[in-house]
């Protein structure tokens, strides 16, 4: 065996020159590798640095507060704090475009009111006025207040939609009823912000979790109310300031809060691939325990078309159809919270409405709770609480796949499964702006660059 050492006549041990040079070269190589690892970023770090650079270029640093919001392909245009919105915490949000002036408005729901914000100058939004909630003192709610401070009669849940230039507002947790407000009253306010009162206070139901409106048919669908088990409560809006109850649908085989409970819904005049239901009015419901499809064409005799659950179901919360009505994207509000998993989006194929099929589950890189999403074009816009706004491409939805292409984190404090951050968003303005309501951080006016 060849040894790298030799001993001289005095008994001293030396390293042979060849092996000495080899050892020195190895030391140099390892030193260079160590230096490279410490000074040169990895591929992941390079990508993160590129995203950070893009974020700064896109205006994700709010100069007035020096807060940096992580983002990708989305610009921060402006933000309005909860205090400046004349309230405490935010919940739902919707939008309205004045057909006379073309001005775009954010309708921002808070714990005890709705505040109206003119965003026609997006970089300088103006609070025009506010509509405090109305509570029917003659009624009692069938559920407890969903708020930490019940004595103040503030609800963490308030939802609204728009039809024929009127806002329709419900609230959960107290006998709020339905507020109807004529949005054209926002024109020409001389000394904003003005405190408004509603044009009509409808009190046939007390609390309600949400309201959906099918603009094509002119019917509204109140869900999660204290009537009919929280199922679909159908209102005719032919006369916008005089809604009329015309029917209800309660499938007692779904729901956990009560038999028939619907948490959220999207109702459309069906024009999708299943010709058996062409031209029918259908509602696609997130019913806690199930994803359910209802045919509400006959308001006096609505029927369940199909219902299905899925592995990992904890609380089917909300969802939206793709524009061709072929697929439905469903979010489950409690699967991340209870099962310690990353954010999931469940993708349903509706080729056969009688037999919806779960064809894929999108898994994000965050563990935040998904809450509300809306589809516009080939993108879905998700408000995922602590992860903020997430925009996903639908280009491969037929394969049961989604891909994140942009985001804006309205809640930079963390991405854990907590009920704070982005509650909802509205992506339907013709300007392309997206407005987001963040529970703690206020209204965000954003400009996606897709």
CATH number at residue 186: 2.130.10.10
Per-residue model confidence as pLDDT tens digits over 275-284? 999 999 999 9
One domain for residues 33 and 181? no
Per-residue model confidence as pLDDT tens digits over 118-130? 999 999 999 999 9
One domain for residues 199 and 248? yes
Say what the pTM is.
0.85
One domain for residues 332 and 390? yes
One domain for residues 145 and 221? yes
Question: Residue 215 is encoded by which pair of tokens?
Answer: 């603009």
Confirm whether 63 is domain-assigned. no
Per-residue model confidence as pLDDT tens digits over 335-363? 999 999 999 999 999 999 999 999 999 99
One domain for residues 73 and 36? no
Give the per-residue pLDDT at 173: 77
Q: Which of 282, 273, 287, 294 is nearest to 352 (CA)?
A: 273
Confirm whether 333 is domain-assigned. yes
**Bridge pairing between strands 264-269 and 281-286:** antiparallel
Percent of the chain at pLDDT above 90?
80
Q: Which of 144, 92, 132, 188 is nearest to 383 (CA)?
A: 92
Q: How many domains does the chain have?
A: 2
One domain for residues 126 and 213? yes
Q: Where are the alpha helices (DSSP H) in 255-414?
A: 335-339
Buried b (16+ CB within 10 A) or exposed e, 264-296: bbbbbebebebeebeebbbbbbbbbbbbbbbbb
Domain extent, residue 291, equals: 68-448
Confirm whether 47 is domain-assigned. no
Count helices and strands in the chain by DSSP H and E runs: 3, 34
Confirm whether 261 is domain-assigned. yes
Confirm whether 315 is domain-assigned. yes
One domain for residues 319 and 375? yes
**Residue 168 pLDDT > 80:** yes
One domain for residues 21 and 118? no
Spatial CB neighbours of 390, under 8 Å, sequence gap ≥ 6 = 364, 381, 382, 384, 404, 406, 407
Confirm whether 53 is domain-assigned. no
Distance CA 233, CA 16 (A): 92
One domain for residues 114 and 12? no
Give the per-residue pLDDT at 137: 61
Confirm whether 106 is domain-assigned. yes
Confirm whether 60 is domain-assigned. no
One domain for residues 277 and 160? yes
One domain for residues 13 and 101? no
Give the per-residue pLDDT at 411: 97
Q: What is the mean pLDDT of the chain?
A: 88
One domain for residues 226 and 368? yes
Q: Distance from CA of residue 43 to its chain's centroid?
A: 31
């Amino acid at each position: 065996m060849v040894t790298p050492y030799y001993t001289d006549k005095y008994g001293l041990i030396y390293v042979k020159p060849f092996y000495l040079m080899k050892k020195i070269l190895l030391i140099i190589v390892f030193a260079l590798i160590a230096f490279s690892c410490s000074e040169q970023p990895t591929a992941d770090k390079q990508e993160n640095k590129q995203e950070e650079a893009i974020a700064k270029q896109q205006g994700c640093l709010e100069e007035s507060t020096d807060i940096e919001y992580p983002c990708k392909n989305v610009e921060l245009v402006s933000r309005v704090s909860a205090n400046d919105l004349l309230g405490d915490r935010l919940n739902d949000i919707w939008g309205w475009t004045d057909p006379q002036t073309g001005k775009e408005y954010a309708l921002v729901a808070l714990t005890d009111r709705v505040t109206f914000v003119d965003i026609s100058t997006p970089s300088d939004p103006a609070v025009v006025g506010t509509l405090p909630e109305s509570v029917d003192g003659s009624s009692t709610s069938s559920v407890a207040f969903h708020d930490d401070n019940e004595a103040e009669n503030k609800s963490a849940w308030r939802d609204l939609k728009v039809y024929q230039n009127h806002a329709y507002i419900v609230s959960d947790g107290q006998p709020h009823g339905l507020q109807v407000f004529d949005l054209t009253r926002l024109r020409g306010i001389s000394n904003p912000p003005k405190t408004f009162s509603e044009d009509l206070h409808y009190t046939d139901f007390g609390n309600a979790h949400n309201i959906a409106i099918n603009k094509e048919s002119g019917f509204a669908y109140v869900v999660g109310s204290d009537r009919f088990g929280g199922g679909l409560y159908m209102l005719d809006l032919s006369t916008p300031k005089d809604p009329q109850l015309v029917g209800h649908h309660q499938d007692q085989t779904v729901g956990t809060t009560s038999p028939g409970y619907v948490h959220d819904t999207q109702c459309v005049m069906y024009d999708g691939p299943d010709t058996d239901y062409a031209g029918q009015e259908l509602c696609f419901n997130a019913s806690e325990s199930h994803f359910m499809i209802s045919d509400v064409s006959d308001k006096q005799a609505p029927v369940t078309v199909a219902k299905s659950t899925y592995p990992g179901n904890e609380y089917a919360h909300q969802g939206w159809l793709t524009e061709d009505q072929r697929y439905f994207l469903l979010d489950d509000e409690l699967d991340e919270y209870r099962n310690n998993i990353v954010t999931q989006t469940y993708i349903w194929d509706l080729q056969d409405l009688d037999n919806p099929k779960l064809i894929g589950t999108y898994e994000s890189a965050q563990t935040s709770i998904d809450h509300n999403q809306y589809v516009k074009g080939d993108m879905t816009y998700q408000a995922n609480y602590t992860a903020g706004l997430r925009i996903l491409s639908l280009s491969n939805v037929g394969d049961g796949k989604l891909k994140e292409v942009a985001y804006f984190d309205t809640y930079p404090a963390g991405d854990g499964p907590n009920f704070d951050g982005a509650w909802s968003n509205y992506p339907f303005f013709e300007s392309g702006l997206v407005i987001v309501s963040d529970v703690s951080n206020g209204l965000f006016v954003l400009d996606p660059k897709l």
